[in-house]
Amino acid sequence: MISGSLNILFSFCLFSILGWVLEVSYRSLRDRRFVNPGLLKGPYLILYGAGALILMGCVSLIHEYNFLESNFLIKVFVYFAATTGIELISGFNAQYFFHVRLWDYSDQRFQYKGHICLKFSIYWILLAFVFEYFLFPLYQILIIWLPHGVKILFVGVVASMMFIDLAVLSVRQFLFANKWTKKEEAAIETEFLETAAPLLDNPTVKALSQYNHHRGKTRLDHVKEVAWLSFLWGKRLSLDCSAIVRGALLHDLFFYDWLREGPRLHGFRHHNISLKNARKVTFLSKKEEDIIKKHMWPLTIIPPRYPESFVVSFVDTFCSTRDYIGSSKGKGDCSRFTVHS
């Protein structure tokens, strides 16, 4: 099971990179300048990674049934549906979620809303046959020959880069692409401050300012930033923003330097310590308790029960990662807020 999952992730990462090379070569030659395609900054295109996995499934299915393998028209239809389908879905998703047109076939004949067209669908079918008869056999040899440790290292590095890249893009686009008006911004900040004030004025919570947490940030800085960004996500998704703010502010309520002291396996234990301390500070709803207890998911194994918990967990991971890969503070930094009783 583990080996199979590793091979899937390795395939996804490998063909995402190969697809990026293909797209860069094509677009750069066409435009006579270097063009870095796609939403993400790194040298990978998720569309090709996902497409390769789908094609692997199609090729395996076709080879399993002789009547499919011998019928050329069926293979053409299967490859058309797989490649053009994922291109259509990817185009719609990029436009809907990120307000970006990654490609535009509006000037082509037999096109649909600029996302797909007959000309490039034929190109994809031809590439699918190249994949079946040339790339896939070579890949099968590579996946058997390559040492297990090399695959783990490759997947770890590339998947981590993709996750950070996608997380940064998602936060920026989702929170800041469509800015609120000045009046709406003021109302949102006021709502956040009014929700956060009772906890930020609590001496126990204030004491978090005495502990370094991540590079260049105290623990109080960190929980405020997580609370603010999670609050913005909650507003966008129409979630329980009060529970989000309160849970986020209390999610790291422990009082030791986790880099030098404290219990062993800190990452697996401090959420329970924080929950115990938070219960001494204030009454917690079930949702707020779940936010605190599950903020380290998937280390907690049991997944969050509420969407609010997923939001805080994601934002906490994003903020923690950003703290260690760059010291610059972005728009999401909450240090500008000063709460008075």
Of 203, 213, 199, 233, give the one whose Cα is nearest residue 337: 199
3-state secondary structure 223-259: HHHHHHHHHHHHHHHCCCHHHHHHHHHCCCCCCCCCC
Number of other CB atoms surrounding residue 103 within 10 Å:
17
What separation, in Å, do the N-terminal and C-terminal C-alpha atoms of the chain show?
55
Q: Give the range among 180-184, 324-328, 336-340 with minimum mean pLDDT.
A: 336-340
Positions of CATH 1.10.3210.10 in the chain: 181-325
Query: Residue 213: enclosing H or E segment and its boundaries?
Result: strand 212-214
1 vs 71, more confident: 71
pLDDT at 340 over 80: no
Buried b (16+ CB within 10 A) or exposed e, 53-85: bbbbebbeebeeeeeeeeeeeebeebbeebbbe
| pLDDT given at position 216 | 73
| pLDDT given at position 339 | 45
| pLDDT given at position 92 | 85
| pLDDT given at position 335 | 45
Q: What is the pTM of this model?
A: 0.58
> What's the CATH code, domain 181-325?
1.10.3210.10
**Confidence band, pLDDT 50/70/90 cuts, at residue 173:** low
pLDDT at 16 over 90: yes
